[in-house]
Amino acid sequence: MRIAGRGMIDRRKPVSFTFDGRRYSGFAGDTVASALLANGQRLMGRSFKYHRPRGVLTAGSEEPNALVTTGVGPASEPNVRATTQEIYEGLAVRSQNAWPSLDFDVMAVNDLASPYLGAGFYYKTFMWPRRFWERVYEPVIRRAAGLGALSGQPNADAYEKAYAFCDLLVIGAGPTGLMAALAAGRAGADVILADEDAVMGGRLNAESEIVEGQPGQAWAAEVVAELAAMDNVRLMPRTTVTGAYDGGMFGALERVNQHRARRGTGAPLECFWRIAAKQSILAAGALERPVAFANNDRPGIMMAGAVRVYLNRWGVAPGKQVAVFGNNDDAHRTARELAAAGVHVAALIDCREGVRVQGAAYPVLSGAQVCNASGRKELEAVTIRTASGEHKIQADCLAISGGWNPSVHLTCHLNGRPTWNADIQAFVPTPGAVPGMRAAGACNGVFSTRGCFVAGLEAATAALEALGRKPVAINFPEAEDAAYKLEPLWAVAGKGRAWLDFQNDVCVKDVAQAAAENFRSVEHMKRYTTQGMAPDQGKNSNVTALAVLADATGRGIAETGTTTFRPPYTPVSIAAMGAGGQGKGFAPERFTTSHAASLAMKAPMVEAGLWYRPSYFPRGQERHWRQSCDREVGFVRNAVGICDVSTLGKIDIQGPDAAKLLDLVYVNTFSSLKVGKVRYGLMLREDGFVMDDGTCARLGDQHYLMTTTTGAAGQVMRHLEFVTQCLHPEWQVHVISVTDHWAQFAVAGPKSRDLLNGLLDAPIDNASFPFMACGAVQLGGVEARLFRISFSGEHAYEIAVPARYGAALFDLLVARAEAMGGGAYGMEALNVLRLEKGHLTHAEIDGRATAGDVGMEAMVSDAKDCIGKTMSERPGLRDPKRGQLVGLRPVGAVKQLTAGAFLFAPGDEAIRENAQGHTSSVGFSPDIGTFIGLGFVTRGRQRHGERLRMVDHLREIEAEVEICAPVFVDPEGGRARG
């Protein structure tokens, strides 16, 4: 029901939306809750466990009852609080956790079964039989108890993440926050003011009070306008600061477009902000707490402060006959304002004795309590207990106030514990709990408007001083300064269920039962009863619940303590936190210069780290990748193949001490390498295991070029920087990655030199460019580097040009190779070629292999120290029983080998204890005509010729294999030198 002349809604702008398919009309500025209330729709949800009918309890983000689903299809969003969702034209809202309808919910039978559904019921009830846990109990419980459901479709909305920086972050734009931001802004500080509401002002927008001679709402609007005009102040409305983190970092969720029907291209629904602030002021306000009494969850029972918000902010009377019940003066304010607005106040019930209200137009019952409520889907009457007995009064709305709890949450995010303040019967922040943060105003236990202005100004002054800025004088606005007086009242005694946690259906008796069953610690009680574990995290129930626990265990509240407040303050969608990470946004894609050409040749691409590399290049009649792979292997063995190897890490190393660095990081010696030569090198981790391998070329006396494997490029670079900065900062050496500068291609096969000589400005021969030579060459005037190295075992080269020429060179090399009976080859062929030669990849050097394991013990120089050398000499790493690299070939009926299979002696059972080794990589060798493999076998080098049983338990493949030398083709290595 709307009240004329009140509220901050725009009555010239009606907005229509639907709730469970029915059309409703509200005004611009309404939330779903205010618009539904204005339309007399009280019932907004069903409770979690008992499916009790529920109405709206609060007017803010702490709302436990009115959770709804907005949108349809992939755009639907469950568990939206009707109290914060602004309406827009066409908004579709649905109720949750009710079937077939909100009005008639079959699962409401749970309510009748409530004697069996109390605290810990599932621990006791669903214990046996064990096999029912996952198949029966869990699905049943999940269906019965629940919140909204996801659509099950991919989320098509855009989200974003962003960073913001400031001197001072002010959290909350009520009287305290506005005053703090104004003081800091005028002093020239770089300020961010964040508030979760769409309109800044906090309680100033909720109350009808006079500030500096004008309505509080108008004063707030003036201050916001002044702040908005300041270049040094950034206003962030609709932004909830959800977490405080180390080093002045804050997380905040901005609801960018949740209030709009039409959104532009790429317009984000929400933005997750990371805010770095040198100082912060918490001005988060306070949350009113209910009083527990029997059936206190009836729709129509609301917080007294929320009733004032609906009245003053949205011009809505939440009922026709409103009773008010409280233990403090704030409840009186609600009764007063309702009466002033012409709403019938049925009674003001104050639990305190001797309370008088001068000139009240409604009955005032002092020393009385509300002890029950009736009316299933809508409140009809409340039962009042006085010294003279109990009686009912008619009311369709009950406004309750059990006092206010300061919103201390963010001060606890770094493990701080709040302090009990007996004067206000609430927890207040412990100063210094978050470095650089000052809690001020209502969240610090100061409840009068004037008190909040004072606190905001003081906090800003202190923050400015900490920032080294001079505060400027500010005229102090006149405002109410009433004292806050209350008498603690947590739960009204009596029979029947009295709710504490509305969202998780936790009642007073559940907490009492937990205490009786010896779950007396607050953390145990919480987990046993699920108190405070719903999405609202018990914002309006935790303190009351622990007061009840304190009472049940005979301890004080301070002694009982609180549970831990953790981020986020309000729920944050995973989509917002992971913004940009969907699809291609997950990780950068690194493309080689031949990428487009490979795609044009229809090569399927495979990921290698962040790089994309061609798997194989299919041709005409080929139906299977193996056909392409076999053909490409043939190119290299018989003619010439071209492969982009730009993804290998290339590290330029220069300086007088470059050789020293290489001698320390490689097991073998590089100081002795001649200029113009390349050497294979093996690198260990300090613990003695192999880190990486690759070649290293000496380009000049003090100039080397190291190559790493594609996957380990980052790790090796970091390792080199560790050595040069942390172990030997005195060395004159500089390392830098040049991977992206060079496009590098393998030209491999017996015709490789012929091909190159058709392109190079000056031809080469075996004398000028022998195996393992390197040097500068020119291609059409372009400076290039040529390395005579071979991963395939054939006569081969790698040629590198500046990346701008990569695409052109690849095209040229492939065209020439094709003319010579060869062509491009991909990763599959590259893998077979290296397997046939027993060359290593990270399938072999998998972090567990030593130099000895891979048969390179002899490479470890005796003449010098190197990283990992000492540890590689540990007995365990020298144990002859360790797995040693071997070749494997099938010799039984099954010809297929698989990688990752275990190897057993022929007679042994195929269990882990009997394993003699494993296969690391396999492939089909067109040269040998069968599968071949590499693997590790205990004492393998002495066992060539022995037979083992390969068992792949996952793929259920068994094959008989013979151990052989890990080089299948050209064991003498003559081809590479030819």
DSSP 8-state code for residue 794? S
Q: Which amino acid is at 461?
A: T
Q: Does 465 bind other proteins (CB under 8 A)?
A: no
Question: What's the min distance (Å) between Cβ of 274 and other proteins?
Answer: 7
Asked whether position 609 contacts other proteins by CB under 8 A, the answer is no
Minimum distance of other proteins from residue 695's CB (angstroms):
19
Rounded least distance, CB 491 to other proteins, Å: 38
Which 790-849 residues touch other proteins, going by CB under 8 A? 801-809, 812
Assign residue 917 a region: left if phi > 0, alpha if psi is -120 to 50, beta otherwise? left
956 binds other proteins (CB under 8 A): no
Query: Which residue lies nearer to other proteins by CB, 108 or 807?
Result: 807
Q: Report the residue from 3, 171, 244, 256 that binds other proteins according to the rule CB under 8 A.
A: 256
For the bound state, the minimum distance from the C-beta of residue 567 to other proteins, rounded and expressed in Å, comes to 13
Q: Does 978 bind other proteins (CB under 8 A)?
A: no
Structural contact between residues 941 and 886, judged by C-beta atoms closer than 8 angstroms: yes
Contacts with other proteins by CB under 8 A: the residue count is 83
Tell me the angle at which helices 542-553 and 508-516 cross, rounded to the nearest 10 degrees.
40
**Smallest distance from the beta carbon of 546 to other proteins, in angstroms?**
26
Asked if 261 is part of the footprint of other proteins (rule: CB under 8 A), the reply reads: no
Of 526-585, binders to other proteins (CB under 8 A) are 580, 584-585
Question: How far is the CA of 889 from the CAs of 232, 910, 921, in angstroms?
Answer: 73, 19, 12
At its nearest, how many Å lie between other proteins and the CB of residue 929? 38
Binding to other proteins, residues 135-164 (CB under 8 A): 158, 160-164
Nearer to other proteins, 559 or 589 (CB): 589
**Least distance (Å) between residue 904 CB and other proteins:** 33
Helix-helix angle 522-529:542-553, to 10 degrees: 110
Closest to 928 in 3D by CA, of 974, 893, 964: 964
- Taking the C-alpha atoms of residue 56 and residue 370, their distance in angstroms, rounded to an integer, is 19
Q: Tell the smallest beta-carbon distance from residue 241 to other proteins (Å).
A: 17
CA 599 to chain centre: 34
Question: 215 or 711: whose CB is closer to other proteins?
Answer: 711
Tokens at 857, concatenated: 């013990």
Alpha-carbon separation of residue 690 from 413, 842, 862, 894 (angstroms): 43, 10, 17, 33
Cβ closest to other proteins, residue 307 vs residue 764: 764
46 versus 438: smaller Cβ distance to other proteins: 438
Residue with smaller CB distance to other proteins, 257 or 562: 257
Q: Which helix (H) or strand (E) holds 186?
A: helix 175-186
Decide whether 285 or 416 has the Cβ nearer to other proteins.
416
| Residue of 696, 779, 897, 903 that binds other proteins (CB under 8 A) | 779
User: What's the Rg (C-alpha) of the chain?
Assistant: 38
For the CB of residue 222, give the shortest distance to other proteins in the complex, in Å: 25
Could you give the string, one character per residue 425-464, with x where binding to other proteins holds by CB under 8 A and - elsewhere? ----------x-----------------------------
- Name 164's bridge partners: 275
As a whole number of angstroms, the distance between CA 584 and CA 230 comes to 39
Which listed residue (686, 818, 927, 946) binds other proteins by CB under 8 A?
686
Say if CB 682 and CB 690 are below 8 A apart: yes
User: Smallest gap, in angstroms, from Cβ of residue 259 to other proteins?
Assistant: 13
Question: Using CB under 8 A, which residues numbered 293 to 312 contact other proteins?
Answer: none
Residue whose CB is less far from other proteins, 268 or 838: 268
Cα(59)–Cα(850) distance, rounded to whole angstroms? 65
Question: Any residues with CB less than 8 A from the CB of 616 and at least 6 apart, and which?
Answer: 603, 604, 625, 628, 629, 632, 825, 826, 827, 828, 829
Structure tokens at 565: 């407040």
Q: Which of residues 711-750 bind other proteins (CB under 8 A)?
A: 718, 721-722, 725-730, 732-734, 736, 738-742
Residue number, 552 or 824, with CB nearest to other proteins? 824
Question: Shortest Cβ distance from residue 560 to other proteins (Å)?
Answer: 24
597 burial via Cβ count (<10 Å: 0-12, 13-18, 19+): buried
DSSP result, 547-564:
HHHHHHHT--HHHH----
How far from each other are the two terminal CA atoms of the chain, in whole angstroms?
96
Q: Kindly write out the interface string for residues 41-60 of this chain, putting x where it contacts other proteins by CB under 8 A and - elsewhere.
A: --------------------
Q: Exposed e or buried b for every residue in 503-522, given b needs 16+ CB within 10 A?
A: bbbbbbbbbbbbbeeebbbb
CB atoms within 10 A of CB 973: 14
Q: What type of residue sits at position 641?
A: G
Greatest alpha-carbon pair distance for the chain in Å reads 117
CB of 618 to other proteins, least distance (A): 24
The site map against other proteins for 845-884 (x = CB under 8 A) is: --------------------x---xxx--x----------
CB of 267 to other proteins, least distance (A): 3
Q: Which of 64, 65, 97, 91 is nearest to 76 (CA)?
A: 91
313 versus 869: smaller Cβ distance to other proteins: 869
Residues 211-250 that bind other proteins (CB under 8 A): 245-249
Question: CA 99, CA 107: separation in Å to the nearest integer?
Answer: 7
Kindly state whether residue 509 participates in binding other proteins, applying the rule CB under 8 A: no
Q: Which is nearer to other proteins, 556 or 700 (CB)?
A: 700
Q: What is the x/- site pattern for other proteins, positions 636-665, by CB under 8 A? A: ----------------x-xxx---------
The yes or no reply on residue 274 touching other proteins (CB under 8 A) is yes
User: In the complex, what is the shortest distance from the CB of residue 728 to other proteins, in angstroms, rounded to a whole number?
Assistant: 8
Least Cβ distance, residue 711 to other proteins (angstroms): 15
Smallest gap from Cβ 182 to other proteins, in A, equals 20
**Concatenated DSSP letters of 145-156:** S------SS---
Choose between 435 and 971: whose C-beta lies nearer to other proteins.
435
Question: Does residue 896 contact residue 959 with C-beta atoms inside 8 Å?
Answer: yes
Binding mask 171-190 for other proteins (x = CB under 8 A): -------------------x
